Amino acid sequence: MSRIRTRVAPVALALALFAGGAWAQDAGKPKDLVEYRQAVMSSLGGHTGAIGRLVKGQVDADHLMPHAKAIAATAPVVDDIWWENSGFDDYDRTDALPEIWQQPEDFQAKIDDFQAAAEGLVEAVETGERGRIVEGFKALGNSCGGCHDSYRVRGVAVPIARAAALAACLLPAALATPAAAQDGSAGRVERGAYLVHAAGCVTCHTREGDDAVALAGGRELDTPYGTFRTPNLTPDQRTGIGAWSQAEFVRALRHGVSPAGEPVLTRPSRIPRTPA
Amino acid sequence: MKRADAGAIYAYLQSLEPVTRAVAPHELRFPYGFRVLLWPWRWLYFEAGAYEPDPQRGERWNRGAYLVRHLGHCGECHTPRNWMGAKIEARHLAGNPDGPEGNSVPNITPHPEDGIGEWSRVDLTFFLETGFQPDGDVAGGGMGAVVSDSTGRLTAADREAIAEYLMGLEPLPSKAGGE
């Protein structure tokens, strides 16, 4: 029974109590609860660290399955370690953010993702195919990182995590470019898609939010110099780059000059080869 | 950036579904909002043109340099900036205490204590592919997005090239003396 679900659903909590479930406050003292939770998380990190060494081939041992199973077996525990009296206000040596208790549904969804990914990794290891194991491990990493982003101190701001998750969801759609296949430029378009990803355009040129569209811009970048808002890179005639010629685009990217002749802040195209 | 690469990016972007979305202007602190100031800034800090390979180095190192310094622009976050917002090239990739969203960004030069000097090459390529660090923790935040949007989508050969370039950098401590 999830602490998070019980917290938002008094009826469920009552049922849990009725069924003999422990009263959240009685599980232990805040310090002990936080340290227990950290021990659980460290155990998971220990297993992912071990799997990493095995997958990288640094250690040649047939241990993938026991580690994958240990993570899957521990995953349900992660559902059950968010006691009401184990937040920062109760014991300040926790990295758990208050949003865990303020956004219980989103938090629970992330834990569910983690559990599904943990089971997916066991299935991948069963196949014995390295490619599938790596994909399963990446999916597990995404589920861990996705939750750390939003709910762990130093895990950085929520918007980035959301943008990342959205970009990851939207990219496959953006990559399917039916228009390109017809005009004989498919090879160049495909190469451009690879370069757009290699160059990291998507991360900044996609805004956060439920209505985000990959590369349509609008993301706010808070910097010491102020707030930048990234432009729309889709080929809309008025608000995007639809009216730009290739020469204009190439000039903007390589020389930092817009079609209107204004300077634009592109990244440097050439940097001194050896840093001074 | 290579001209052919810029052209391919143009071809790809033009192939996307157009989205009508006007973006509000930047809101920059005084005096950074005056676009005209970009001209002298560019004269100081911007060099247009193509990447020129270093003939002293191998093909893989040069590919890595192109990916890290040009296409991938890792230094935009991992290199500290001066008051004019220009990257301090002497501190190339040595970490940035004032990174995006107010976060500190780590040193990725091969410095044994402050950077990634203790990482093996496969540690690095595996991290770029999966986001898992050698200690089993997972990259979050901006780098998590970079792994899922960019480095995790590269070919293995390109990740190897990035590793070769980074491992060949001068190891810099996180804080330069007298800075």
The DSSP secondary structure of B145-169, one letter per residue, reads HHHHHTGGGS-HHHHHHHHHHHHTS
Q: What pTM value is reported for the model? A: 0.71
pLDDT string in tens for chain A (276-residue length): 455 544 444 444 444 444 444 445 578 999 999 999 999 999 999 999 999 999 988 999 999 999 999 999 999 999 999 999 999 888 888 889 899 999 999 999 999 999 999 999 999 999 999 999 999 998 999 899 888 878 887 643 333 333 333 333 333 333 333 333 334 456 888 888 888 888 888 888 888 776 778 898 888 877 777 788 888 999 999 999 999 988 888 888 877 778 887 777 665 444 433 333
Q: Which long-range contacts (CB under 8 A, 24 or more apart) does A103-108 make?
A: A104/A4, A104/A5, A104/A7, A104/A8, A105/A8, A106/A150, A107/A4, A107/A82, A107/A147, A107/A150, A107/A151, A108/A2, A108/A4, A108/A5
CB contact under 8 A, B8 and A189: yes
Q: Which is nearest to A275 in space by CA: B112, B58, B170, B95?
A: B170
- Put simply, the answer to whether B16 touches A217 (Cβ < 8 Å) is no
Amino acid at A201: C
Q: How big is chain A, counted in residues? A: 276
Going by C-alpha positions, the residue among B144, B74, B11 that lies closest to residue A233 is B11
pLDDT at A254: 79
Write down the pLDDT at residue A170.
38
* CA distances for B93 relative to A26, B6, B24, B105, B171, angstroms: 49, 24, 32, 9, 10
Length of chain B: 179
- Residue of chain A with shortest Cα separation from B134: A49
How much is the pLDDT for A181?
Answer: 36
Say what the pLDDT of residue A112 is: 95
Contact (Cβ atoms closer than 8 angstroms) between residue A214 and residue A170:
yes
- Of the listed ranges A2-11, A266-275, B38-47, B162-171, the least confidently predicted one is A266-275
**Contacts (Cβ under 8 Å, ≥6 apart) of B80:** B87, B88, B91, B94, B95, B96, B97, B98
Residue of higher predicted confidence among A265 and B106: B106
Cβ pair B74, B108 in contact under 8 A = yes
Buried b (16+ CB within 10 A) or exposed e, B52-68: eeeeebeebbbbbbbbb
Quote the minimal CA–CA distance from B174 to chain A in Å.
Answer: 16
Q: Distance, in angstroms, between A33 CA and closest chain B CA?
A: 21
Taking an 8 Å cut-off on Cβ atoms, the answer to whether A134 and B129 are in contact is yes
Q: Are A216 and A248 in contact (CB under 8 A)?
A: no
Q: How far is CA B5 from the centre of its chain?
A: 17
With an 8 Å Cβ cutoff, are A235 and B18 in contact? yes
